Structure 1
Amino acid sequence: MVQAQIQGLKKQFGKNEILKGVDMTVHHGEVICIIGPSGSGKTTFLRCLNLLERPDAGRYVLGSESYLLHRIGSKQRREIALKTAMVFQSYELFQHMTVLQNVMEGLVTPRQFSKKDAKQIALTMLEKVGLSDKASMYPVQLSGGQQQRVGIARAMALSPELLLFDEPTSALDPELVGDVLKVMRQLADTGQTMIIVTHEMQFAYEVADKVIFMADGVVVEAGTPEEVFRQSKEDRTKKFLSQINFKTA
């Protein structure tokens, strides 16, 4: 079953064309990893999917609804916001709120859950990411890896149809990366539909159902991890993988 479909997504800042017509189909329960060089438009693409950036053109089918992205109004923005959630590279936690309050916030304010129900959901999600004992702490008291797991718990609490990750381990010290990737692997095992922008090639190879290589604002190549990493057809993909010295077993 198709969960989301993106057709002809374009975005530019001034005269700089970042996305030049991106197409993508995401099936229910699918894990898609997007790889590619810096400046290829990967983060902008994710931000367009939950309207943190407003696309200039494109059609977006999410669940049973279809949207023309250059005609998005406030009602459509809210619908998309309620169906998606994002985990950011730099955590984006509220520093004046406790861990528990950070996870509850998206339920209480935009979704109008009661504080009692929101607290129960938040505690359940913190337990899933191994941080139930940190609920009363503030972000500044946590390691980067723990803060990112709070970010994942916050996104999970919203029960999104589409969960977006923007390079979730890139700001972490190497020894903290494993705990975050472990949580993401567990999420993949539950059947959560996810699009993950990542530079963790081994993770992408092992966990993704589909790998997409982006460069210069377009999808250059897409396929299974085996097809993209070991049987690349495009020279641009081969060059990128040779530069990062990725080797599969």
Structure 2
Amino acid sequence: MRVTSLNIEHGCVFTVLMGDYESLNEQPMAAVSGLDFICLTDNPLLRSNTWDVRLVTPMFEMDQVRSQRYVKLRPHEFLPDHDCSLYIDNSVLLSKDPADELRSKLASHDLALFLHSFRESVEAEFAEVALLKFDCRRTLAEQLQHYRNAVPHVLRERPYWSGMLFRRHASPAAIAFSAIWTAHVLRYSRRDQLSLNYALAKSGLQPNAIEEDNHSSTLHSWPHARNRRLEVSIVGNEGET
């Protein structure tokens, strides 16, 4: 893969917080980093000491989860003034300036992802989402059958953790990958880890796979959730008969 040189000065760290899902976590590393720290939100009252809070319009007024995913998966659309980015879930706390990590992990790739450190396969991730009632079983079954018919090898792959995403998000390859990933999150499960491997396979994008503990690395610790509304995450048997 041919990758152009990376201008880290055009990079940023961003998170997305939609609705009243949980409290925004501050990021002390913003004070020592040369990167912009941007929080994209639909809450006009949100204030922060460490984030540059920017308002966005939700894609779906009655679906804050998919609205959050849409912004998360399409940084080229919402952050056009930046060429590369590190997305972090709001519950991730950075423990050092991420600028060097962004530069090194994207040195020869358009995308860098943490491998899932406690799930063995994409199919096992489907089973866990169903068990925890994070999406309706009918939707999960339909998506799973699609992947079994179209790209069965993807279900045997180790999944990636999408709590942190390093991207050259302005690159054509990353944009093509994003389009497929977004389409599947809107069509099937809102749990974006379920469709990530599929989107990679279909787009042909080869990520830099990071083998580190999802809960703790030299760069971060996770999770740090405050005032989270669990009822937003749990779907249960909605839509089933």
TM-score (normalizing by structure 1): 0.27
Structure with greater helix percent: 1
Computing the radius of gyration from Cα coordinates, the structure with the larger value is 1
Structure with greater strand percent: 1
TM-score (normalizing by structure 2): 0.27
